[in-house]
Amino acid sequence: MKIFLAQQNYHIGNFESNTQKIILAIEEAKKQQGDIIVFSELSVCGYPPRDFLEFDDFIRKCYASIDEIKEHADSIAVIVGAPDRNTVKEGKDLFNAAYFLYNKEVTGIAHKTLLPTYDIFDEYRYFEPAYEWNVIEFKGKKIALTVCEDIWNLGHNPLYRICPMDELTKQQPDLMINISASPFDYTHDEERKATIKSNVTKYKIPMFYCNGVGSQTEVVFDGASLVYDKHANLCGQLPMFEECVQGFTLQDDGTIACPVVESAEYIPEKQLTPVGLEEELNISQVHDAIVMGIKDYFTKMGFTKAIIGSSGGIDSAVTIALACSALGAANVRSVLMPSQYSTGHSVDDAVQLSVNLGNPYDLLPIKNIYDAFLTELKPIFKDLPFSIAEENIQSRSRGNLLMAIANKFGYILLNTSNKSELATGYGTLYGDMAGGLGVLGDCYKLQVYALAKYINRQKMIIPENIIDKAPSAELSPGQKDSDSLPEYDVLDKLLYQYIERRLGPKEIKAQGFDAALVDRVLRMVNINEYKRNQFCPIIRISPKAFGVGRRVPIVGKYLS
Q: What is the pLDDT of residues 523-554, one digit of tens each?
A: 999 999 999 999 999 999 999 999 999 999 99
Quick one: 366 and 224 in the same domain? no
Q: Residues 6 or more apart from 555 whose CB is under 8 A from it?
A: none
Neighbours of 494 (CB within 10 A): 23
Residue 345 lies in a domain: yes
384 to each of 117, 375, 390, 484, how far by Cα in Å? 51, 13, 11, 21
Mean predicted lDDT score pLDDT of the chain: 95
Instruction: Give the CATH number for residue 367.
Output: 3.40.50.620
User: What gap in Å lies between CA 325 and CA 294, rounded to an integer?
Assistant: 9
Q: What percent of the chain has pLDDT over 70?
A: 98
In the chain, the amino acid numbered 261 is V
**Partner residues linked to 222 by β-bridges:** 213
Residue 279 has pLDDT above 60, yes or no: no
Q: How confident is the model at residue 277 (pLDDT cuts 50, 70, 90)?
A: low
Give the residue among 258, 212, 326, 196 at the shortest CA–CA distance from 3: 258
The answer to the question of residue 137 being in a domain is: yes
Domain that holds residue 113: 2-249
Question: Is residue 258 in some structural domain?
Answer: no
Tell me: do 240 and 284 sit in the same domain.
no
Sign of CA dihedral 299, 302, 304, 305: negative
Pair 405, 333: CB distance under 8 Å = yes
Catalytic pick among 112, 300, 305, 445 = 112
Same domain, 147 and 27: yes
CA gap 105, 196 in Å, rounded: 30
487 is catalytic: no
Residue 257, in any domain of the structure: no
pTM for the full predicted model: 0.95
Q: Using CA atoms, how far apart are residues 372 and 115, in angstroms rounded to an integer? A: 56
The CATH number of whichever domain residue 79 belongs to comes to 3.60.110.10
Which pLDDT does position 390 carry in this prediction? 95
- Domain membership flag for residue 264: no
Residue 420 lies in a domain: yes
128 has pLDDT over 90: yes
Q: What is the pLDDT of residue 351?
A: 97
Q: Mean pLDDT throughout 412-439?
A: 97
443 in active site: no
Which one of 148, 210, 235, 324 is the catalytic residue? 148
pLDDT band at residue 480 under the 50/70/90 scheme: confident
pLDDT digits (tens, 9 = 90+) for 249-262: 999 999 999 999 99
In a domain, 70, yes or no: yes
Tell whether 168 is covered by a domain: yes
Looking at residue 157, what is its pLDDT? Answer: 78
459 is catalytic: no
Q: What is the pLDDT of residue 60?
A: 98
**Is the pLDDT reported for residue 25 higher than 80?**
yes
Q: Based on the structure, what is the number of domains in the chain?
A: 2
Q: Which of 21, 41, 70, 419 is catalytic?
A: 41
- The residues near 7 (Cβ < 8 Å, ≥ 6 apart) are 40, 210, 211, 212, 213, 223, 225, 238, 242, 243, 244, 245
* 234 and 301 housed in the same domain: no
Q: Is the pLDDT of residue 104 over 80?
A: yes
